[in-house]
Structure 1
Amino acid sequence: MALIVLVGPMGAGKTTVGTLLAKKLRLPFKDSDAEIEARTGADIPWIFDVEGEQGFRDRETQVLKDLLAMPEGVIATGGGIVMREENRVLLKPVQVVYLRASLNEQLRRTANDRKRPLLQTENPRAVLERLMTIRDPLYRDIATQIIETDGANSRSIATKLARQYGDQAL
């Protein structure tokens, strides 16, 4: 068994699926955003406010490097992890699962979430559309597998992945 990294947009289910998958495979689970918050003692919106997106992305890259040094595990990344070429290069050699969610699904899943700094705007739909236009090709470029999450249950996605990656370990 090696590392399995989940990428995708906000609201795709990376943390939920990652937690379930790690349990099923009996592997450690790490969420890169949670790791950043634990290391800084501050939440992501605060880091964005104080350090700006650039400061947050610097922290994100360092956390990614550290997490990829684990011998095995499941890692859920933040939606913007693919924005830096350095991060994409780091992710290329590992198993990367792109959890893809439609724009409508992202809006539904993030509608009441105040911890997403990029969506604290008058028009979250426009932000998500812009992000998807930029990020979708980047997710696809590094993905070893793409899973559509619309209408899918997180548990069933985790079970499917566990079967797949559990079989590879045999």
Structure 2
Amino acid sequence: MTRRWPVVLVGPMGAGKTTVARLLADEWGVPARDTDHDVESLEGRSVADIFVDSGEAHFRELERQAVAAALADHEGVLALGGGAVLDESTRALLADHHVVFLRVGLSDAVKRVGLGSSRPLLLGNVRSRIKTLLDERSAIYESVATLVVDTDGRTPGDVAGEIGKALGERA
């Protein structure tokens, strides 16, 4: 299979997108990029601070712009923030790329994120909020994915290996 850059990883928080992106990038000899980090660099503050100080709508606009820019010019592995696929224009842009949905179940997501999480969308009952987000977003992740990889009970290396086999060694 010919690889189209960037190869994009999507999924909920706790799926391992950033970690798996780094492993794949190292294996393929390309750069890894995370759009949440792009937004933080642009704004000079954390995602949590952007949510609290400026609101989710402002963050989502910054995220939409960061994803569009990365899809246009990044030639490597790209990890999107968990909510990036909620934007219709982002979903349309993903149509021209290999998109890997890293699927994670509730139990593993909670373990990975932690119950004391400082993530803005998890304020309150962390387990309940993660369940709600998984329920709301799973169908959207699947709709944009060209490959779905289950991550429950697996190491990031195992997940990256499966993706590498599915997409082939090099473009």
TM norm structure 2? 0.92
In structure 1, distance between residues paired with 2:82 and 2:17: 9
In structure 1, distance between residues paired with 2:97 and 2:160: 18
Query: Which residue of structure 2 aligns with residue 138 of structure 1?
Result: 140
Deviation at 1:144, TM superposition (A): 0.2
Query: Which residue of structure 2 aligns with residue 84 of structure 1?
Result: 87
Correspondence 1:55 to 2:63 = no
Correspondence 1:65 to 2:71 = no
Unaligned segments of structure 1, at least 5 residues:
none
Deviation at 1:87, TM superposition (A): 1.1
Amino acid of the structure 2 residue aligned with 1:163? K
User: Which residue among 115, 121, 126 is the counterpart of 1:124?
Assistant: 126
In structure 2, distance between residues paired with 1:166 and 1:28: 17
Deviation at 1:3, TM superposition (A): 1.4
In structure 1, distance between residues paired with 2:19 and 2:116: 15
Q: How many residues align?
A: 168
- 3-state DSSP of counterpart to 1:167: coil
User: Which residue among 28, 33, 36 is the counterpart of 1:33?
Assistant: 36
In structure 2, distance between residues paired with 1:11 and 1:144: 20
In structure 1, distance between residues paired with 2:78 and 2:120: 21
TM norm structure 1? 0.93
Unaligned segments of structure 2, at least 5 residues:
none
* Cα separation, partners in 2 of 1:129 and 1:114, compared to 1, 3 Å: closer
User: Which residue among 4, 8, 23 is the counterpart of 2:7?
Assistant: 4
User: Which residue among 99, 102, 105 is the counterpart of 1:99?
Assistant: 102
Contact 1:22 1:28 in 2 (8 A): yes
User: Which residue among 157, 160, 165 is the counterpart of 2:159?
Assistant: 157
Q: Percent identity?
A: 39
The Cα RMSD (Å) is: 1.4
In structure 2, distance between residues paired with 1:5 and 1:104: 24
In structure 1, distance between residues paired with 2:28 and 2:170: 11
